[in-house]
Structure 1
Amino acid sequence: MLTTLSWLALEVKSLESAREFYTDVLELSVRRPSNDNDERHGVGESGHENELALAAGDTDLVLRRPDGVPRGGLHTHYAFSIPEAEYDDWWDRLETAGYDLDEAQFGPVRSLYLYDPDGNCVELGQQDVAGPGIDGIFEVVLEVESLERAESFYSDLGFETVDVGDDRKRVRMSGPMALELWEPHLGIADARGGVHVDLGFKTDEPTAALNAVVDQVRQVDEESAERVVVRDPDGHVLTFVSSSA
């Protein structure tokens, strides 16, 4: 139903500090708008004076100062894809730059963890991507009040449960990216799930996605054939954008 992750938005106090971290340290480039009427979240430097979008592969990482809604996520844990062969170079460079890094092993692949200036836990994980450098977002973690309720909601959007934590505080689901649903707790590197996270998805039929969950959403903010914006049961903002738009 949902085909790709189009954007992830984070709330930042200072666009300049956040931009320096993501462009200078993590080497993301600023996304430019495709045209002056581009209505995606995070269309680039000319899109909004309090918003900036960076290119993480085909996904926008949107940095947004809080001056309205949606605000962007707070203390969001999410994961960038990097080529397997680049991992050691990333570790050495970030460690030399003075960052306090954590590491986890998942089967044959490794991930490193560090924090951005606004307290978001950023993961760089080995994935089958071309690169060079960061080439996509493969995981986002949402904090939820009830795992059962959230799992049901995202299942209706086409996500499939692939793992459940032993303590029943987290559920991992597969879809356009890996979606982790966490009841409040600290994970690897003391990460927390994000609150009021803003996610955008491409889909062939935005209204079909709405119809699948209309009885469960907290509210519908926008509805058209090309674009639907809803709040999930925990207040996360989801936008369904037509793949043809």
Structure 2
Amino acid sequence: MLTGLSWLALEVKYLEPARSFYEETLALSLRERRADELAFAAGETDLVLRRPEAVPRGGLHTHYAFSIPDAEYDEWWDRLSADYDLEEVAFGSAKSLYLYDPDGNCVELGQQGVDGPGIDGIFEVVLEVEDLERAEAFYTELGFETVDVGDERKRVRMNGPMALELWEPHLGIADARGGVHVDLGFETSEPTGALEAVSDRVSRVDRVADEEVVVRDPDGHVLTFTT
């Protein structure tokens, strides 16, 4: 149903420190600049940085993960560890490093076997939810599949256009938290079909058009289904 992640939007207090971090520290290309918003190309997904001037706002304290080529991991570690207190976690044979951006988002760079060079996609986003079973049921209707359940059932990992982690409030790896009021854009050939799948579960419908539908999930995260 959902075939790709179009964008992830984060809220930033000031654009320039955020721009410096993502453009200079993480070497992302600035794709578009507007008065209160920056859009960076992260592979085929846009990372949007947005000042809190209107709705939808971007996500706060969002944990998410960039894909990097396996062979570049040590280079990234050496480059970033000079200025950041990094944390490292191994997932089988793949490693990830964690650091924080100027607005308190936990940024993961993980080996994903992508082509690169540099950051080449977003492979995981973590959302904070109030009721894990309710949130899991909602995203299941959109085609996500549960692949892992955390200890004490405070966390669920689902696979779809990217890995989606649903967390009840707690601190995860690197003291990360799930994002609140996160704005996600999803590609789909049938935006209205995605709406029909969850019409009885959304908290609000903001827009319905042939090529774009905007809804809010049960926890207030903004989801756009777009062709």
**TM-score, normalised by the number of residues in structure 2:** 0.99
CA distance in 1, matches of 2:90, 2:166: 20
Name the counterpart of 2:214. Answer: 229
Matched residue, 1:40: none
SS of 1:167 mapped into structure 2: helix
What's the offset of the Cα at 1:191?
Answer: 0.1
Report percent identity of matched pairs.
77
Partner Cα distance (1:30, 1:95) in 2: 24
Task: Flag as ranges the 4+ runs of structure 1 deviating above 4 A.
Answer: none
1:90-109 deviation digits (Å, cap 9, x = unpaired): 0001011x101001010110
Q: Does 1:118 align with 2:118?
A: no
* Alignment partner, residue 13 of structure 1: 13
Runs of 5+ unmatched residues, structure 2: none
Task: Work out whether 1:157 is the aligned partner of 2:162.
Answer: no
* Structure 1 residue 11 displacement after superposition: 0.2
Between Structure 1 and Structure 2, how many residues are aligned? 227
1:128 aligns with 2:110: no
Partner of 1:4: 4
Instruction: List per-residue Cα deviations over 1:125-183 (Å, max 9, x = no partner).
Output: 00010000000000000000011000000000000000000220000000000000000
The answer to whether 1:178 aligns with 2:163 is: yes
Q: Where does structure 1 lack aligned partners over 5 or more consecutive residues? A: 32-43
Note the C-alpha offset of 1:241: 0.2
Q: 1:84 Cα deviation (Å)?
A: 0.4
Equivalent position amino acid for 2:128 in 1? E
Query: 1:25-64 residue pairs with structure 2 within 5 A?
Result: 25-31=25-31, 44-45=32-33, 48-64=34-50
Matched residue, 2:64: 78
1:38-66 Cα distance to aligned partner (Å, 9 max, x none): xxxxxx11xx3000100000100000000
For 1:188, the equivalent position in structure 2 comes to 173
* SS class of match (2:21): helix
Distance (whole Å) between structure 2 residues aligned to residue 196 and residue 107 of structure 1:
32
In the alignment, the residues of structure 2 paired with residue 14 and residue 182 of structure 1 have an alpha-carbon distance, to the nearest angstrom, of 27
**CA deviation after TM superposition for structure 1 residue 115, in Å:** 0.1
Q: How many angstroms does 1:192 deviate by?
A: 0.1
Instruction: Normalising by structure 1, report the TM-score.
Output: 0.92
1:198 aligns with 2:183: yes
Which residue pairs with 2:94 in the alignment?
109
Q: Secondary structure at the match of 2:152?
A: coil
Q: In 2, distance between residues paired with 1:240 and 1:213?
A: 12
Distance 2:120 2:174 in 1: 22
Q: Match of 1:132, as an amino acid?
A: P
Q: Equivalent residue for 1:66? A: 52
Where does residue 218 of structure 1 map in the other structure? 203
